[in-house]
Every structure is written in structure tokens, then in C-alpha cells.
Amino acid sequence: MITLAFLALLQTTPARGLVVVAPASFQPGLQAFLDARGKEMPVEFAAIEDLVRADPADGGDLRDPPERIKRALYSRWKSGSLGYALLVGDADTFPVRFMVLDRTTPAANNYAFYASDLYYADLAKTDGTFDDWNGMREGFHARYFGEVRGESNKHDPINFDSVSYAPEIAVGRWPVHSPEEAALVATKTLAHVAREKPRVLIVHADGWIDARANARAMLESLGSRGFEVEGQIYGDEASAPSPARTLASLQTRTDLALHLGHGSDQGWHLCLGNTERLALASAPPAVFLSIGCSTAHFVNEPPYQAYLDEAGIPHRGTNAGEQFTSPPPPPHWLQPGAFDSTGFGAELVRSPTGGALVYIGCDTGAQPCALSLLDAFQAALRTDAAPRVGDAWRLAQAQYVEREKLFALTPTDDWYPPSIFFQGMKFVFLGDPTLPL
């Protein structure tokens, strides 16, 4: 159980060092980044190949590469040396942990898998022991991690695997495919200079829930802390968002863009699409956070979309007519080729110029409860507890536990309680968590 005292501890934990985890071949292209960040904090480069190598001393308990990487992060955090982790690689390169929802879809035997980098940030239970996100190990559950129930199964706890949820470290991912892409993103990130008076754009388009009061409250909150603010909010005729207006604001100078509204893997509905994304390559790069659906999609969603299972067997997925009469085999930790799809946020981060320095968003469907994540994130920015973007996001995820009372949720006849629970598990931080704003 997360307590208020534990949340307070997370909010006051001082920043520690950074570990950059990547394939060994990426290190030369990342060296300038490692050297630059090394002037600000302790920095370590850790090769994926070294972390996932089986150790006979483990007694066979380290079951797969994601767990081996997580245990390596845990040991560094436990020693007091780790505050940030940068995972370098898209889903075809850096191991992904997929969490599980008992989503009511008969063709999928009522199971769905979603990529969750919160797995790598939530290292420990509240007593300090390692959290493997696998509290239930009977039968097929031993290979299902971070299980959330309550949509199809009404008699089990929503937090079926007893995950502790609140992150101990700030984790970001560069969704790159090659050493060359990694080097370009590193160069773009290092060119960023934090401004004394950052400019914030809040965009809220029509068609979603009416959160205009929330958006205006955030503008006031940020303005009171020294940010220069602009709101594009539907219903305000002179400043309502549109692709042209939103793009123009981002092209002039926007350091942080916050989005409330519908989204997809193609962009922000009624605000930004792929045409605007391409135009942003020549604009100053910014930090983005969207609480719309799927704007941070970066890998296929098993078993609906085609995927490679943990035994290396390809599946065409239920969208293409596959039927599962038993619980689907879990996805492999790497999803190469056609299994590794992309999306709006990942493309912005990968852009060698312009685009995004950081993109925070949902990699699948999002719900209105994500307003709690957005509000906690903006409230943490430029405070003593959050000098860097990753700190603010870590605090937002930790506070989400209390704001939405996650551990008090129980199944109802509705699908929404489990969705509230795993909302924070579906959001990903694409970018460098040590970036100052």
C-alpha cells in the first residue's frame, strides 16, 4: 500500500546519477552526451548485452531480459547511485515489458498487452525489496506481468500482481533504431538551453470532455511560477486551436506544449497532424505532453495487432482474424520489423532537428483521469523537487496513486475502475529524463 509518508519521501529524494542503457555499439555516438551530462551528475553507460547476460549466481530466477535490466537498475538505486535511467532503443532494440489487462474481447480470450516503461521506474516495493510486477504466478500468470483485472473478471483484485506503482527513479526512452539515430537525438538534446522564462502552450480542442476550467487553472498556475503562457482553448473564438494556429505557436518559440483532447498515433485531433509534424522539423524543439489517445504509440498492441510471442512465434492478431481460445502467449520483449510500429510522438523525438526533445503521452487509449497526471506534472515543474522534466513526471506518476486512490479501487459493473488504475502504466516518457526546462 502506498502511504502519504512514502509519497512525501519520493518527493524529497535528491537527484542522483544517470545510467544510460543501450546496445554496446551505440556508445561511441553517445559519448558526447555522456560527457556533457557527466559534468552535471554521475553518469554510467551500461551495455544491454552485459545487463541481460545470465549469471549462474542468480539461480535461474532472472527470467528474461526486461527483469535482468530492471534488477540492474534496482541494485544501482538501492546503493544510492541512481536517480535517472535513459533507455536507448525502440521496441526492436531495447527490451519492452508489456503489462496485461483483462479487457473484454472474446477473440483475444479477454486479454490485452500494453507496453509499460513504468515497469523500469517502479523498482521497489514500499519495504525496499525488488518489485518484479509478478505477484501472481499460478499457471499462465507466471508469464503475465503487471496484471490489471476488473473489466472482465469482477472477483479478483484490480491490482492482481500487487505492483507498488510509484516510481523510484525517472525513466525515459529514446525510440531510436540505430547508433546513427541515437547520435542525432543526443546532439539535438545537448543543444537545448533552459530558458529563464519558458514559454508554455496549452491546447484544448473541442470533442473531448470539457476541461476548459482545468486548462485555465493550469495556465494561471504556470504563470504564477514565472512561465510565459498561451492558451488555445475551444470556445475562445480569437484563440481556439487549429492546425495552422497551433503550428504557428510551436514554430515561433514554445518550450512546453500541453495537450488536452482527442489523439491518435497520427497526432492531436483538430490541432496537429503529420503535415504539421513534418513542418516542426524546422522549428525549435519542445517538450510535449498529451493526454489524448495513442499519441505516444511506439509498438504494436498484442494480441489485437500482429506480434511476436515470447517463443519467437509470429501472430497475425485478432484485428486480422486470429482467435485465441486460451490466454494469448505473452509478447516477446523485442518486436522487430512489422511488429515495431511508430507514432506521432516517437517520430517527433526521432527527428534529427526540431520536433520534440521530450514527448510524454499514452501509447494506447487514454481516459479523462489522465487529467490528474497532467495537473500533477505542471504543478511540479520548476520546483525544488523537480529541477528536470523527468523529476516532474516521476512525481506526477507517484501523486497519481493518491489523487485517484488507486489502491482503494474495486471492480464494478463498469469497465472504468481498472482503466483508472492502469492509466499511468500506459503513459511513456520519450526523451532524456535529465533534461532541464
Are 126 and 202 within one domain? Answer: no
Residue 59 has pLDDT above 80, yes or no: no
pLDDT band at 237 (very low <50, low <70, confident <90, very high): confident
Q: How many domains does the chain have?
A: 2
If you average pLDDT over residues 210-215, what whole number do you get? 97
Cell of 133: 510486477
More confident residue, 58 or 113: 113
pLDDT band at 61 (very low <50, low <70, confident <90, very high): low
Closest to 410 (Cα-Cα) out of 166, 163, 161, 154: 154
Residue 5 has pLDDT above 60, yes or no: no
Residue 12 has pLDDT above 90, yes or no: no
Domain boundary, last residue among 157, 187, 217: 187
Residue 58 has pLDDT above 60, yes or no: no
Distance CA 372, CA 424 (A): 10
Domain boundary, last residue among 135, 165, 187: 187
Cell of 22: 543501450
Are 237 and 181 within one domain? Answer: no
Distance CA 125, CA 238 (A): 50
Cell of 212: 476548459
Least confident of 15-19, 42-46, 418-422: 15-19
Are 153 and 255 within one domain? Answer: no
Please indicate, yes or no, if residue 433 is contained in any of the structural domains.
no
Distance CA 39, CA 7 (A): 30
If you average pLDDT over residues 208-217, what whole number do you get? 96
What DSSP string runs through 228-246?
Answer: EEEEEETT-TTT---HHHH
Are 153 and 266 within one domain? Answer: no
Distance CA 133, CA 119 (A): 7
Please indicate, yes or no, if residue 173 is contained in any of the structural domains.
yes
Are 57 and 165 within one domain? Answer: yes
Please indicate, yes or no, if residue 303 is contained in any of the structural domains.
no
Are 359 and 250 within one domain? Answer: yes
Please indicate, yes or no, if residue 307 is contained in any of the structural domains.
no
What DSSP string runs through 151-167?
Answer: SS-SSS-SBTT----S-
Residue 348 sits in which domain range? Answer: 193-298+339-427
In one-letter notation, the amino acid at residue 390 is G
Closest to 189 (Cα-Cα) out of 44, 88, 70: 88
Please indicate, yes or no, if residue 398 is contained in any of the structural domains.
yes
Strands 199-204 and 256-260, how do they pair? Answer: parallel
Are 202 and 74 within one domain? Answer: no
Cell of 318: 485478432
Distance CA 392, CA 192 (A): 18
| Three-state DSSP state, 255 | coil
Are 253 and 390 within one domain? Answer: yes
Please indicate, yes or no, if residue 202 is contained in any of the structural domains.
yes
CATH number reported for the structural domain that contains residue 79 in this entry: 3.40.50.10390
Domain boundary, last residue among 153, 187, 221: 187
Are 281 and 148 within one domain? Answer: no
Distance CA 429, CA 391 (A): 11
pLDDT tens digits, 159-185 = 999 999 999 999 999 999 999 999 999
CATH number reported for the structural domain that contains residue 249 in this entry: 3.40.50.1460
Whose grid coordinates read 511506439?
A: 298
Q: Compute CA distances 383 → 228, 376, 379, whole Å.
A: 16, 12, 8
pLDDT at 88: 98
pLDDT at 138: 95
Are 144 and 239 within one domain? Answer: no
Mean pLDDT of the chain: 94
What DSSP string runs through 216-227?
Answer: HHHHHHHHHTT-
Please indicate, yes or no, if residue 28 is contained in any of the structural domains.
yes
Please indicate, yes or no, if residue 48 is contained in any of the structural domains.
yes
Are 159 and 262 within one domain? Answer: no
Residue 15 has pLDDT above 70, yes or no: no
pLDDT band at 3 (very low <50, low <70, confident <90, very high): very low
pLDDT at 9: 47
Identify the H or E element spanning 253.
Answer: helix 243-253
pLDDT tens digits, 88-100 = 999 999 999 999 9
Cell of 389: 522534466
Q: Compute CA distances 80 → 14, 39, 44, 52, 416, whole Å.
A: 10, 19, 14, 22, 38
Are 170 and 239 within one domain? Answer: no
pLDDT tens digits, 116-151 = 999 999 999 999 999 999 999 999 999 999 999 999
